[in-house]
Amino acid sequence: MMQPINLHDYEMLAQKRLQRPVWDYYQGGSDDEISLRNNRAAFAQLRLRPRVLVDVNNCNTATSVLTRELSMPILVAPTAAHGMAHSKGECETIQGADAVGSGMIVSNDASRSMEEVAKVSQGLRWYQLYIRSQPEARQLVKRAEAAGYQAIVLTVDTPLLSRRERDIRNKMGSFQRIYYPGAFTGNVHNSLNGSIDDDERAAYVGHTLSWDIIAWLRTQTSLPIILKGILTAEDAVLAVQHGVEGIIVSNHGGRQLDGAIAPIEALPEIVAAVDGRCPVYLDGGIRRGTDVLKALALGAQAVMIGRPILWGLAVGGSEGVKHVLQILQQELRSAMVLVGSPTVKHISRSLIQ
């Protein structure tokens, strides 16, 4: 087998391993996949301004996120249904992340229950919540607290599930129910199980929320609340006014509104609007250490990666996840040396043209 040396190699190897409907589900975006492609293209548009003759002998990627020490400013984004990539699902993924001092946001729609995942991890773990009904969300949040999750990540960009045409053509819903029953229902046992069709699933997955949901969620938990799926300065200001402990700038990996701005394009206005009042994170299209560096330079405190983790998981289980993160960390370190930023704190706006 080819030895993967970068994330693109993992992508190629994962495609060979995964059945077509699973590959398409993991890989795809919505409609014409314009946002999906632009998430990458937008990084390529940014140019770096390297500084030279800086002492970078002890270059170090360590950082801290919500008071937790991490070896790198890179976390695992919440992605659903890891059981379609590996029999042990999210339990395998989080062990890979832990092993390199990263951390994981466990999806509401994971294949394994949050308790099973918690049992095999010691590091940073946050729970990603979809609020589809308040009674269900209340239970999920209580369980997350009891299982030692350290934050709730509320995803707010999914008032409906967008049209993912690859999945429609592949009849992904029926395929998954036959070959991977329970792939999405590790946490939510009763609602997605059984014989619901794709339309019903889409209606269930999408649930309209408004800003007052934050105050409600606050009454349910003392954990920090982080909003995922913010793309404008206006919403970032509202998020701060509603007292959240963090914002994840994200367009859901190009899987929701097609044509939505790339997170890296939205980041500067959001960082300016937030003005240090809460940490800002970013996900979408990160495939290289230089992408991580660009996001940090524009003000992200850390980044999250989605699909590359699924590729690593499919190719090599926890070892694959670990290697994907190690590659990205190594690339980030090289980029930091080459731009003359020996620590994460040194990375500044002036690195971007």
297 or 314: CB nearest ligand FNR: 314
Give the residue from 250, 291, 283 showing the smallest Cα distance to 7: 291
Q: Is 252 a catalytic residue?
A: yes
CA-based nearest residue to 322, from 12, 10, 2, 1: 10
Q: Is 283 in the site for ligand FNR (CB under 6 A)?
A: yes
The C-alpha angle with vertex 25 and arms to 192 and 266, in degrees rounded to 5, equals 100
Select from 79, 93, 162, 290 the one that contacts ligand FNR (CB under 6 A): 79
Output the six-digit token pair for 182: 């329970």
Partner residues linked to 247 by β-bridges: 227, 280
306 part of the interface to ligand FNR, by CB under 6 A: yes
23, 26, 149, 281: which one contacts ligand FNR (CB under 6 A)?
Answer: 26
Residue 107 sits in the site that holds ligand FNR (CB under 6 A): yes
Q: How far is the CB of 256 from ligand FNR (least distance, A)?
A: 9
Question: Looking at beta carbons only, is 30 or 318 nearer to ligand FNR?
Answer: 30
Catalytic residue among 82, 86, 252, 323: 252
Measuring CA to CA, which residue among 338, 331, 313, 330 is closest to residue 80? Answer: 313
Q: Which is nearer to ligand FNR, 60 or 326 (CB)?
A: 326
Give min distance, CB of 330 to ligand FNR, in A: 18
Task: Tell me which residue has its CB nearest to ligand FNR.
Answer: 306
* Beta carbons of 128 and 155 less than 8 angstroms apart: yes
Q: Which string of x and - marks every residue 245-264 that binds ligand FNR (by CB under 6 A)?
A: -----x-xx-x---------
User: Is the CB of residue 94 less than 8 Å from the CB of residue 120?
Assistant: yes
Distance CA 89, CA 47 (A): 38
Pick one of 13, 77, 231, 328: the residue that binds ligand FNR (CB under 6 A): 77
Q: Does 301 bind ligand FNR (CB under 6 A)?
A: no
In the bound state with ligand FNR, the residue whose beta carbon lies nearer, of 98 and 157, is: 157
Residues in 159-218 that interact with ligand FNR by CB under 6 A: none
Min separation Cβ 92 and ligand FNR, Å: 16
Closest CA relative to residue 332, chosen from 105, 56, 116, 25: 56
CA distance 211 to 328: 36
Using CB under 6 A, count the residues that bind ligand FNR: 24
Q: Which of 88, 112, 164, 228 binds ligand FNR (CB under 6 A)?
A: 228
Contact 344, 62 (CB under 8 A): yes
CA distances from 245 to 61, 65, 153, 204, 214 (A): 23, 11, 10, 28, 11
The set of catalytic residues is: 252
Residues contributing to the site for ligand FNR (CB under 6 A): 25-26, 39, 77-80, 107-109, 128, 155, 228, 250, 252-253, 255, 283-286, 305-307
